[in-house]
Structure 1
Amino acid sequence: MNTEAIRGAPSWHIHPDAETLARHLARAIARMADAAIAARGAFHLVLAGGNTPQPVYAALVSRGRRWDAWHLYHGDERCLPPQTLQRNSQMAASVWLQQVPIPRAQIHDIPAEMGAEAAAAAYAAVLPPQRFDLVLLGIGEDGHTASLFPGQPWGLDPATPAVLSVHNAPKAPAERVSLSAWRLQRSRELFFLATGSGKRDALAAWRRGEDLPAARVGAGATVWLDEAAWPGS
């Protein structure tokens, strides 16, 4: 899927439960990695943070191949010390990356411990010039995605920076770093992940056409969710 063409309605992939979803999504990511490596010699993946993707990352340990060709980035990060458990980089490392031989130089953590402004500028220089192969995102109960929150700048205009410094986020910590909306959309494929009844209202608002960060970033994306998160008709 060419992101220049991502403009339509999302497609909804509903699974019976979070465990089944994680298994199928990990399999899909592994297939995409194989295809990207065969076609272009590398797989460039942007990781979602938070708790929801943890089972997917754990399932990838036994699914992935050709780890030497994987290049990983983060959609956002919290401005906390590097070893803090609440960091997205720490979560991904503990459930997945410490168990697979991806070269450390190809795991691009956001240096959010530098502070939001400095980290955003530094991370912009790390991003590849080409499109990502896959961007994986979540959705918050308020409709935010990455660290793009309602009522704050989302970076939809390609003239804005590729990486944003986020201040006064409504969820702690207030200081964060996030890829902008347009840079997240600059990907061959865009997947959203949502599980649990707590996401149902946000997904219902998305389906109603409300102007949420997730809906703006995810127009035309594939949304992977379990039955508990599905708001129905």
Structure 2
Amino acid sequence: MASASLSLFSTLSKLSSSLPTSPPKLSFPLHSLSVKFNPPAFSLSFPPIFPGLSRLHSPKNHRPLASLTDMASDKRVFDSGDDLAVSLAKYTADLSDHFANKRGAFTVVLSGGSLIKCLRKLVEPPYVDSIDWSKWHVFWVDERVVPKDHVDSNYKLAYDGFLSQVPILPGHVYAINDALSAEGAAEDYETCLKHLVNTKVVDVSAASGFPKFDLMLLGMGPDGHVASLFPGHPLLNENQKWVTFVKDSPKPPPERITFTFPVINSSAYIALVAPGASKADAVYTALGGGSSQNAETLPVQRVAPEGVLTWFLDKDAASKL
């Protein structure tokens, strides 16, 4: 395509001044390696980026990671959704402090569904003012291949409920290229991740060789699906690709991209956030020692990270345990 070469760093600097007041109607991802939009068309070149990441303003009033690790358990059950949101905000803020100090960056993966609502306390004091948001890099574990302003878009869900209310740099928000096909969007997103691994924005697992995100915030469907990895689907067994595509999702819309289980399970920390009575059966099967016939039948049972897995449940979701 006809193109002019731009510096990614200068481009991101222009983007980073502020988030827009309403979801932009973009036909290109904020990360895109080969960006197509009309007019004009151009490509981005990638010099070493984020030279200022080593400079850290350390937020205050957060529990140190050692304390967080000590209190981490297989599952946490809360009396109310508000209590769950308070605990999840504390958990996320403590990890943000830890990785921002350790690596100069904090890579966070979001999902759709009820997860964004559960993050609502992060946009309130003390966290909205004390977290160093400039260190955050935000990704999606899966996305629907729809325009970013579409009601089914996980980007729109996150933007409306979270991203628009915190000062994360727009250039650190890695949305999919919704102008591409599902297959093209998956390939483009994987290429983006490989670039960010090469530039050490995203860590890499020494054990698996897959990208190692600092925190993956996963939801779970009533059928036990995570990301866009559904019960009985062949993609449950994909172990080579980082990002793949779905054209026959049992839940609409049918076309999606999704991280694969090797990427999910390379995470340093996974918070599996599953509130609500509709999740009770799947929670019981995954955590309550359901019958042997049901063993390993749910996608969520394949979530087994190298690092720490913590379930965040309300009493309704845990009612059958």
TM-score by length of 1: 0.89
In structure 1, runs of 5+ residues without a counterpart are: 1-9
> Is the Cα contact below 8 Å between 2:99 and 2:214 reproduced in 1?
yes
Q: Which amino acid aligns with 2:116?
A: Q
Shift of 1:125: 1.3
1:222 aligns with 310
Out of 243, 255, 267, which is 1:187 matched to?
267
1:138 aligns with 219
1:41 and 2:104 matched:
yes
Write the distance in 2 (CA, Å) between the matches of 1:154 and 1:204.
24
2:296 aligns with 210
Write the distance in 2 (CA, Å) between the matches of 1:60 and 1:153.
36
Write the distance in 2 (CA, Å) between the matches of 1:100 and 1:187.
24
1:75 aligns with 141
Shift of 1:99: 1.7
Q: Secondary structure at the match of 1:178?
A: strand
| Number of aligned positions between the proteins | 222
Q: Which amino acid aligns with 1:126?
A: C
> Is the Cα contact below 8 Å between 1:57 and 1:92 reproduced in 2?
no
> Is the Cα contact below 8 Å between 2:231 and 2:298 reproduced in 1?
yes
> Is the Cα contact below 8 Å between 2:230 and 2:236 reproduced in 1?
no
Identity of aligned residues (%): 34
1:20 and 2:86 matched:
no
Shift of 1:102: 1.0
CA offsets per residue over residues 157-193 of structure 1, 9 Å max, x none?
Answer: 54x2100101211100111110111111111101100
Q: Which amino acid aligns with 1:32?
A: L
Write the distance in 2 (CA, Å) between the matches of 1:138 and 1:40.
26
1:57 aligns with 119
> Is the Cα contact below 8 Å between 1:148 and 1:213 reproduced in 2?
yes
1:7 aligns with none
TM-score by length of 2: 0.66
Shift of 1:154: 3.5
2:231 aligns with 150
Shift of 1:56: 2.7
Larger C-alpha radius of gyration, 1 or 2?
Answer: 2
Write the distance in 2 (CA, Å) between the matches of 1:190 and 1:157.
20
Shift of 1:29: 0.1
Write the distance in 2 (CA, Å) between the matches of 1:110 and 1:218.
26
1:100 and 2:188 matched:
no
Shift of 1:156: 4.8
For the aligned residues, what is the CA RMSD? 1.7
CA offsets per residue over residues 98-134 of structure 1, 9 Å max, x none?
Answer: 1221111100012244221000000001224221101
Write the distance in 2 (CA, Å) between the matches of 1:125 and 1:48.
20
CA offsets per residue over residues 75-120 of structure 1, 9 Å max, x none?
Answer: 1011111211221110111111112211111000122442210000
